[in-house]
Amino acid sequence: MSPVRTVETAGRPLPEHAYPALAEAVAAMAARHPEWLFPMLPQGIPAPPAVPAIDLAAAPGTVGEPAAPVPSGSTVLAGDVAVRVADVVVPGRPGVVSVVADLGPRTVHALLGLRAPGAETFPLPDADEAPVGLLDLDDGLGVLSDALGDAQYCLALLGAVAGQQGDVERVRRAWMSDESTAIAFDDRIALAVYGRLPAEPAPHPGLEMYLALDEVGFNHVAAPIARWRRGGWDLGVVRDYEPGAAGGWALALTSLRDLYASDGPPERAGADFGPEARRLGTMAARMHLGLDQAYGRRPGDVVAWVGAVERSVQRVAPELLADAEVADLLAALRSMSVPCPAIRTHGDFHLGRVERTDLGWFVFDFSPGGTPVFGAGTVPPGMHAGAEGAGPVYRSPLADVADMLWSFRHVADTAAAERDPSGRLGLSALARAWESRNRRAFLSGYLATPGIRGLVPPATGLARNLAAAFELERTAAKLALHA
């Protein structure tokens, strides 16, 4: 583990008379970033596949066609934007301006490239290079555009934040998630920029957790290089990048597509996911051991957790509680008298948050930074991302396990609907067989990891039952969503 460079960029603020033009630019950017406008959902959108790179030796402005803006379903006007702070991160032309603004109830971070009128551009193949406004400063008029859509601006940002550029030949957008966009440079390092910020200056909880795990030696994350901050906000992070990494969601979909095409048992499918699910379980256990080391633990109360699950399910899908198997499961857990500690957990741990690299499974996305989307298994019971006073939340590590197990069902159903939207092929039996095999493999790898038995009930059956109880909350939420 090497020291992480911390860079503050609050030294060159723009004057307030520039704010109206910046507000217009941020409003225009919102059409390309619908994630700014909507709350994060559980089981977030999986990262898209890798996109083509731009060759910096090619003629500027000639590589690829810009993608059409993603409609947000809502028109954002400059009057909806209140600029909080704006700083020059890279001076001159081309330059980069960082803007923190309130967009309705949300606080967003926009990076605007600034170039001279008529200057050449280096758009990324998947980016919209259209200007979003003009900015007239003492050093002249500048054209504003999305800085993360142009290789020239991305390189300048890398130099400002990480203090390095070198002879970079390829720049590409590595991933987009519900809260960040990452740019890869020669598939060696990546700059991830946060587009959504807390309303008041505060460290990014996901970044804090990522750095804490790196500090205690958890080696299933890319090595951090630099932390980008502004007045208490975390704006981004530079980290190593693993070339050839494949997202967990994409790998699972490949396995399922192969299974549905072959119509055989999942263990005989060419892309059997079982061995990977077991390795993923081992990685998850090591993550929890690292979080225990980094943050410590608190005593848990299984009976209180079961009561909280029942109340949550009763509100949105009471029919689940009428199921005899569910009733027996919850009754058995109420009689448990074994210790079950609570630790800091990921909070929304699913296939869209992990990737398979040449070095094994990595966690690449720590959203929502330990504050869970659902309140199952928390101390005190019922704490989640929307709960009043939700700060550092401790919960059973089996709640993270439940999130991943539910993710196996979710991806199996998604792949079945993709191949057979009408349901005429009867893929549900294959989907459940795939899900069952990989649930068993994940739990086997998790529970076999040295040291993890100190964080979960010692009996395998009890651990499985408690994870199943935590899953009920996600299942109930899905039933309510489609009711």
- Residue 95, CB half-sphere, CA atoms under 13 Å: how many? 21
Question: Rounded to an integer, what is the distance from CA 414 to the centroid of its chain?
Answer: 19
- Report how far apart the first and last C-alpha atoms of the chain are (Å, whole number): 49
- Spatial neighbors of 335 by CB under 8 A, at least 6 apart, are none
d(CA 122, CA 61): 5
- Spatial CA neighbour of 40 closest among 176, 174, 177: 177
Buried b (16+ CB within 10 A) or exposed e, 309-329: bbebbeeebeebeeeeebeeb
Tokens of 77: 């006007």
Tell me which residue has tokens 């225009």: 28
The pLDDT of residue 224 is above 50: yes
Determine how β-strand 81-90 pairs with β-strand 224-230.
Answer: unpaired
**Residue ranges covered by each domain of the chain:** 5-240, 246-481
d(CA 170, CA 186): 5
The pLDDT of residue 51 is above 70: no
Question: Can you give the pLDDT at residue 42?
Answer: 46
Question: Can you give the pLDDT at residue 426?
Answer: 84
Average pLDDT on 445-449 reads 98
What's the Cα-to-Cα distance from 178 to each of 48, 183, 365, 463, rounded to whole Å?
A: 12, 15, 10, 31
Higher pLDDT, 483 or 307: 307
Determine how β-strand 354-357 pairs with β-strand 246-247.
Answer: antiparallel
The pLDDT of residue 64 is above 50: no
Q: Report the CATH fold assignment for 246-481.
A: Aminoglycoside 3'-phosphotransferase; Chain: A, domain 2 (3.90.1200)
d(CA 104, CA 106): 6
d(CA 103, CA 76): 8
Would you place residue 47 in the very low, low, confident or very high pLDDT band (cuts 50, 70, 90)? very low
Average pLDDT of the chain, as a whole number: 87
The pLDDT of residue 466 is above 70: yes
Higher pLDDT, 479 or 396: 396
Question: Can you give the pLDDT at residue 362?
Answer: 97
Would you place residue 36 in the very low, low, confident or very high pLDDT band (cuts 50, 70, 90)? confident
Question: Can you give the pLDDT at residue 411?
Answer: 96
pTM beyond 0.75, yes or no: yes
Q: Dump pLDDT digits (tens) for 255-285.
A: 999 999 887 888 887 789 999 999 999 999 9
d(CA 476, CA 323): 13
Question: Can you give the pLDDT at residue 314?
Answer: 94
Q: Dump pLDDT digits (tens) for 160-187.
A: 999 876 788 899 998 887 788 999 999 8
Question: Can you give the pLDDT at residue 339?
Answer: 83
Question: Can you give the pLDDT at residue 382?
Answer: 64
The pLDDT of residue 3 is above 60: yes
What's the Cα-to-Cα distance from 201 to each of 30, 71, 101, 198, 389, rounded to whole Å?
A: 21, 29, 12, 7, 17
Question: Can you give the pLDDT at residue 178?
Answer: 72
Tokens of 29: 């950017």
- Residue 150, CB half-sphere, CA atoms under 13 Å: how many? 25
d(CA 438, CA 249): 13
3-state per-residue secondary structure call for 298-365: ECCCHHHHHHHHHHHHHHHCHHHHHCHHHHHHHHHHHCCCCCCCEEECCCCCCHHHEEEECCEEEECC
- Spatial CA neighbour of 326 closest among 443, 478, 465: 465
Question: Can you give the pLDDT at residue 374?
Answer: 84
Higher pLDDT, 244 or 133: 133
115, 199 Cβ separation under 8 angstroms: no
Average pLDDT on 130-156 reads 95
Q: Kindly report which listed range (73-77, 368-372, 396-400) carries the lowest average pLDDT score.
A: 73-77
- Spatial neighbors of 481 by CB under 8 A, at least 6 apart, are none
d(CA 435, CA 410): 9
The pLDDT of residue 89 is above 60: yes
Type and span of the H or E element at 403: helix 397-419
Question: Can you give the pLDDT at residue 390?
Answer: 53
Burial class of 296 by CB neighbour count within 10 A (0 to 12, 13 to 18, 19+): exposed
3-state secondary structure of 172: strand
- Spatial CA neighbour of 329 closest among 136, 130, 463, 168: 463
Higher pLDDT, 464 or 388: 464
Average pLDDT on 11-30 reads 93
Tokens of 43: 């089981």
Share of the chain above pLDDT 70, in %: 88
Tell me which residue has tokens 């739990």: 443
250, 46 Cβ separation under 8 angstroms: yes
Tokens of 24: 């217009």
Share of the chain above pLDDT 90, in %: 67
Average pLDDT on 190-214 reads 95
Would you place residue 155 in the very low, low, confident or very high pLDDT band (cuts 50, 70, 90)? very high
Average pLDDT on 241-249 reads 90
C-alpha torsion angle, residues 409, 415, 419, 420 (rounded to 10)? 30
Question: Can you give the pLDDT at residue 39?
Answer: 59
Tell me which residue has tokens 């019971």: 381
Q: Dump pLDDT digits (tens) for 341-363.
A: 999 999 999 999 999 999 999 99
